[in-house]
Structure 1
Amino acid sequence: MKQGRSRDFLTAYHPPGRDALIWGVRVLDAGFEAFPPGKPYPAKEHHPAPYLYDWEKGRVFSEYQLLAITRGGGILETATCPHLALQAGDLFILFPGEWHRFRPDPATGWDENFVGFDGDYARHLMHAFFTPGEPILRGAATEETVALIRKIAHHVGDTSPETAPLVFADMITLITRLVLFTRVNASSECRSARLKITAAREQIIARAFQRIDFRRLAASLGMSYTVFRRLFQKETGHAPLAYQLETRINRARVLLQQTDLSVTEIAHQTGFSNVFYFSKMFSNRTGQTPTACRRITGSNRDPHVKPSLRPKD
């Protein structure tokens, strides 16, 4: 591990422990540093070779990096975004495999707070909510966010095994804060679209076992079907019809597990035209037939509890 401390900086680098694989989060480096006007950037004495770079050549990381600027300003350039101005209050994201370079304005310098991380779960979250086309979150370097980054930096600097779960939990909290920040500060157009998709989801759930005309539903929300379908899939991960089908299958699974209704009756109650189509869809979605689902569940039931002949509310 390499670590440096002073009143103006703290950096910590060390290999992630075994628990990182279990949690799906690996914090690789974290710290904060002040760069007054004219100070060379980056500070070579505080960082290992992989984190240093030549401005002309730029650099590529294999992990994510978050940097929050709390004073001063500078510039960021990436393979996707040629030239972006940075100012106090901005937080920017460096993406794995994305060429980049950044530095403070020599006339102002800047104060930065950073954390580098990886891991399957962390990558899943970042890929789902952030894009290289929008690497800067304007105003996201709030007091709470910066305090959390500094907390992570101090914990990373402590090599005792008891701190590892705290680091993982704080890292997920940090990502979650940034996701919420982007949603709260989205444009009015984005908020309006999200509200419409929420309304559509509620209607689909309420009418899940009926036939739904999705083009008419889109029109009732003031959207073309093409736009509606794209936004719905982006928000939910499913196309509208697939979302309705998942709702039906989930309800069918509950009825199979908690009632003695026949498979035919369950198919009818969950909106399928016939039992054969229901069985096919159920098998495709769950990997088991309705009968097998009931058999497996039945073997795990409490023998003293008799299942109801009617669905539970």
Structure 2
Amino acid sequence: MHLNRESDKFIAQNDISKANFKKYLIISELDQKWGFIVNDAGYTIIPKGSEYPPKGHPGTHMFSWKTGRIINEFHLVLISEGEGLFESKTAGKQKIHGGDAFLVFPGEWHRYKPNKKTGWTEHWVGFSGEIAHLMIKEYFFKKENPVAGKFNNQLVTKLFRSIHQLIKEEPFGFQRIASGVCMQLMAEFCNTQHGSGLKNESPVSRAKHIMNEKIGEDINFKTLAQNLGVSYSKFRSDFKRQTGLPPLQYFLLLKIEKAKNLLLNSNTNSQQIAYELGFESDFYFCRLFKMKTGFSPQTFRKNEWAKLNKLK
């Protein structure tokens, strides 16, 4: 995954993760208009046996384990080494291991601390704004599930370092660049949670590849799951969690998208398209096409060709 050129300049500079760093930014009206604002970021090495949290944070961000705290921004916290505890009002208490990350929601009581026997190294970024709230309040992030296990990897480390260096140096436009990097971090957090830490060649990814390869065939998904080495119930559950659709519905939508392409870029009639895409009949294909697009294949072709002719 590629960062923009400006942030790459900062990543290439000295490794800044060897010392503690934190910075709380002054946010202007112009920054607010951008819609996604990085408010603060930093990293702290907490040696074993140390008191927590360390001093030096603003009063609004300080807390004790006894009282916890409530803040008015989102915080994404990565624990790269060590272990400890995280607790929030909605999710309850959870053990945190090195490599885990957790998301703190604005207005949500929470607290966290390292195990005194191990200490920990924490990296965080605080952010807010209208776009941040729109992104977080939807399906992808829930207060009931604020932890992503095994989140730490080379890309995540690079993204955190980029944010830290950007706010340390504050070059022109750094706030907008940092917000983009932060959104990429949140995408990684989301993918880690919904993908359960799976790699690109997961059963779901392999199944999607097979669907594209066999788009003109009829796939038995129970047999496919068996061939992929997982139970059908787990395969279906994982597939829906990662794509938002059951396998069959996803496969049918692939066929509909392929049908659209054929309708727009060839003179193939609906009966031939139905046969080419493995539908049991032209009637079933036309009914499904209208259900998914709102138009019959013929009307869809006519409307889209009319639009193209107007553009010429």
The two structures share one fold, judged by TM-score above 0.5: yes
Match for residue 124 of structure 2? 114
RMSD in angstroms over aligned alpha carbons? 4.2
The unaligned stretches of length 5 or more in structure 1 are 1-6, 306-313
Q: Does 1:200 align with 2:207?
A: yes
Q: Does 1:103 align with 2:113?
A: yes
Q: Does 1:11 align with 2:26?
A: no
Match of 1:127 among 140, 144, 149: 140
CA distance in structure 1 between the partners assigned to 2:307 and 2:111 by the alignment? 57
Match for residue 261 of structure 2? 254
- Matched AA of 1:209: G
CA contact (8 A) 2:70 2:108 kept: yes
Match for residue 91 of structure 2? 80
Q: Does 1:93 align with 2:102?
A: yes
CA 1:233 to 1:62, structure 2 compared with 1: closer, same or farther past 3 Å? farther
> Deviation at 1:232?
2.5
% identity of equivalent residues: 25
- Matched AA of 2:178: V
- The CA deviation string for residues 66-105 of structure 1, in whole angstroms up to 9 with x for no partner, is 223467654333453525255xx54421242654211245
**Matched position secondary structure for 1:82:** strand
TM-score by length of structure 2 reads: 0.69
Using the TM superposition, name which of 222-231 and 175-184 deviates more: 175-184
Match of 1:46 among 45, 51, 57: 57
Give 1 or 2 for the bigger CA radius of gyration.
Answer: 1
CA 1:245 to 1:61, structure 2 compared with 1: closer, same or farther past 3 Å? farther
- Matched AA of 2:53: Y
| 1:1-313 mapped onto 2 (5 Å cutoff) | 8-15=20-27, 17-18=31-32, 20-21=34-35, 25-33=36-44, 38-39=50-51, 41-43=53-55, 45-49=56-60, 51-60=61-70, 63-69=73-79, 74-78=84-88, 79-84=90-95, 89-96=98-105, 99-105=109-115, 111-118=121-128, 119=132, 123=136, 127=140, 133=145, 135=147, 137-138=149-150, 140=152, 145-146=156-157, 148-156=159-167, 162-175=173-186, 186=197, 195-301=202-308
- Matched AA of 1:265: Q
> Deviation at 1:150?
4.1
> Deviation at 1:166?
1.4
TM-score by length of structure 1 reads: 0.69
CA 1:101 to 1:126, structure 2 compared with 1: closer, same or farther past 3 Å? farther
CA distance in structure 1 between the partners assigned to 2:51 and 2:221 by the alignment? 59
Give the total of aligned pairs. 286
CA contact (8 A) 1:283 1:290 kept: yes
**Matched position secondary structure for 1:127:** coil
> Deviation at 1:266?
2.5
- The CA deviation string for residues 173-208 of structure 1, in whole angstroms up to 9 with x for no partner, is 43455578789994xxx669x643344333333333
